[in-house]
Structure 1
């Protein structure tokens, strides 16, 4: 249960720490999904198929899933500030390994290390935000943190595609390393001491998972993110094969998608509040509809740009909507709830990359996008009006 004495007031809320966490989010997102914008040259450089190289994302998802479930137990009594610093250091090590990777095996190993960082950080992030700011400011803090996601979505993919075309894909990963090093220093300065609040056993995670309303929401989150990343992981092959883009237009379209994410983050921070359960199905509904529309209109660069802008805005809103739901419906066990949410999200990213890659290699990129649409339909059907995802009133 949240200790009232530990809740900061508005005057001493750690907004510098919130911004430090936001930068870490941006770098995590950039590191995790940079292979999306560099998929084709990475595959060529490592002598692997595009579908196989896409598994570099799925392997990070696999290890992120495991880390998210184990981090609160494994971290034990360690101060959460020290845990976050250690995880950021792991991200730095992973990027260096990717940049020098001589073969596919080293790449996969580096991505596994990154997955540990991703799973651990995200599992703790919402619970940390709930300790940094007053309860009423949590949606705002989350929207700022996910603003880091919007920044990464806006600039990482297009810059990665553009710079990778000029300097090579390895140079792109090298360029991220000084930014992560600076973020590591910022964590040391800005994050307050965050002592562990008792040792959490794995049984607490199981107890939270047994809550029917939370389990339904968890499955809905998996379907929503699974749909999104079945499409997003293989967006570059779609744009190259169906839209027929060159490197410059590819960068422009990815930039459009990313910049739209700022609008999604702003709208989510402003409008997610009371009655947010009605918004739970909106991301899957909109992004699934966009993916379906791309199948039929993807040959037009203009139509594709408009649709990707809509998709990008809703993609960043997705995180704020579901994490706000988690913070308000598992507020008695935020670390356990966060662990399960991150495990569900990373599991869906893993499955999305695997399923999408198999469909791409066995059938076509159209089949990959059709699989994403099917997952979105399932999410919307499960969520309904969102009432069954709310904890019972006391």
Structure 2
């Protein structure tokens, strides 16, 4: 493990270089605590995809309105991503991480027990703060835990929690909500966060920070054309994805006429395919990020469009939901890579813009998707997904070859 007095706020490339040796047990535990946190937080983030219908029924609201729990998480998260490093100042980063996870515990409990929709929104907003704060610090913390030469390996383990959550949360949420109710499913994510928080408290070393961060460099990056195009690609593709994916369950219920168990199986296929897409996206981005972005957007556009046309047939629906999951798995690798290639000299600041872009896209997608599903039916949001993903294909083709 690297010296814990190393400045956390320095760029990763400035971290203390260490030999690529076997990690100690303490290092493994610390990195696994970060992976457990990513699993707990992302599980809570994706859970509404499997709970939307019973949640809306219980609270006496439309499915479009219920989908705004995603908006609350993402919109607050967007602001947090931009200002988190400024707001935490010189507070020990271990303290910050434990506090953020504790906030996730409280937020999930509030969401699970909320008798009114506005209380549910407050709980989801707290989760948004925890999510964005965690991801804003994750790379720098992992770099300190394992050293600069092993940062990629460390982050691969941390993001494994994301992949597992993508598989488990929507499908298990749908099953648990059917058996025990959506509130029980929501409460279980609070339990996951408690486990992650305890692991952090026990295994993370002290991580002092001696300097604060400024927004000036982040805002300067937005003047670069490559950054503008990269952010626009995130906004288009992720707005399209979340406009449609949040309302996949209503589509499968109303159009494909699947029961709860079948929907859970379809969502499980989505999650498994997203893991495969993550691997494929990394390999493709190394070869040509322009081509990788084109393929990612094209697959999502195709899956959403054909799902609208032929989604009444169960076999077609299962196949295209999985294809959509594959494209979504590629996106978290391809989109950040596409953005960061325009600012290799400021990767941390670029990371902040990336998180903000994702969260804004999630917010817009949930709001617009909710309006469309309430006014045009279950197929409307998926049509919007196809249009925005196709627009991303056009944008990718306009970018310079690399």
Taking structure 1 as the reference length, the TM-score comes to 0.91
Alignment of 1:134-153 (within 5 A): 138-153=151-166
User: Counterpart of 1:21?
Assistant: 34
Query: Where in structure 1 are there 5+ consecutive unaligned residues?
Result: none
User: Counterpart of 2:251?
Assistant: 238
How many angstroms does 1:361 deviate by? 0.8
Closer, same or farther in 2 for the Cα pair 1:135/1:167, shift >3 Å?
same
Aligned equivalents of 2:350, 2:313: Cα separation in 1: 42
User: Counterpart of 1:258?
Assistant: 271
Alignment of 1:109-188 (within 5 A): 109-133=122-146, 138-188=151-201
Task: Describe the superposition over 1:112-145 as per-residue Cα deviations: whole angstroms up to 9, x where unpaired.
Answer: 1111112212223344445555666555544433
Kept in 1, the 8 Å contact 2:281–2:292? The answer is no
Kept in 2, the 8 Å contact 1:147–1:265? The answer is no
Say which of 77, 87, 90 aligns to 1:64: 77
How many angstroms does 1:150 deviate by? 1.9
Task: Describe the superposition over 1:232-258 as per-residue Cα deviations: whole angstroms up to 9, x where unpaired.
Answer: 111111101111011111111111111
Q: SS of the residue aligned with 1:244?
A: coil
Matched, 1:341 2:351: no
Which region of structure 1 is more displaced relative to structure 2, 250-259 or 333-342? Answer: 333-342
User: Counterpart of 1:198?
Assistant: 211
User: Counterpart of 1:296?
Assistant: 309
Aligned equivalents of 2:327, 2:49: Cα separation in 1: 19
Matched, 1:37 2:50: yes
Kept in 2, the 8 Å contact 1:127–1:338? The answer is no
Q: SS of the residue aligned with 1:6?
A: coil
Aligned equivalents of 2:322, 2:95: Cα separation in 1: 38
Closer, same or farther in 2 for the Cα pair 1:334/1:80, shift >3 Å?
farther
Which region of structure 1 is more displaced relative to structure 2, 295-304 or 257-266? Answer: 257-266
Closer, same or farther in 2 for the Cα pair 1:382/1:245, shift >3 Å?
same
How many angstroms does 1:277 deviate by? 4.0
Kept in 2, the 8 Å contact 1:59–1:112? The answer is yes
Closer, same or farther in 2 for the Cα pair 1:377/1:142, shift >3 Å?
farther
User: Counterpart of 2:6?
Assistant: none
The CA RMSD measured in Å over matched residues stands at 2.3
Closer, same or farther in 2 for the Cα pair 1:270/1:372, shift >3 Å?
closer
Aligned equivalents of 2:151, 2:340: Cα separation in 1: 8
Aligned equivalents of 1:141, 1:288: Cα separation in 2: 33
Kept in 1, the 8 Å contact 2:233–2:335? The answer is no
Aligned equivalents of 2:229, 2:150: Cα separation in 1: 26
Task: Describe the superposition over 1:259-316 as per-residue Cα deviations: whole angstroms up to 9, x where unpaired.
Answer: 2222223334555435434312322211111101101111111111111222212212
Query: Where in structure 2 are there 5+ consecutive unaligned residues?
Result: 1-10
Which region of structure 1 is more displaced relative to structure 2, 163-172 or 331-340? Answer: 331-340
Task: Describe the superposition over 1:177-204 as per-residue Cα deviations: whole angstroms up to 9, x where unpaired.
Answer: 2221111122223434444363211212
Q: SS of the residue aligned with 2:47?
A: helix
Aligned equivalents of 1:292, 1:233: Cα separation in 2: 16
Say which of 222, 241, 252 aligns to 2:235: 222
User: Counterpart of 2:386?
Assistant: 373
Q: SS of the residue aligned with 2:291?
A: helix
Task: Describe the superposition over 1:140-182 as per-residue Cα deviations: whole angstroms up to 9, x where unpaired.
Answer: 5444333222211211111111111111111111222222111
User: Counterpart of 1:105?
Assistant: 118
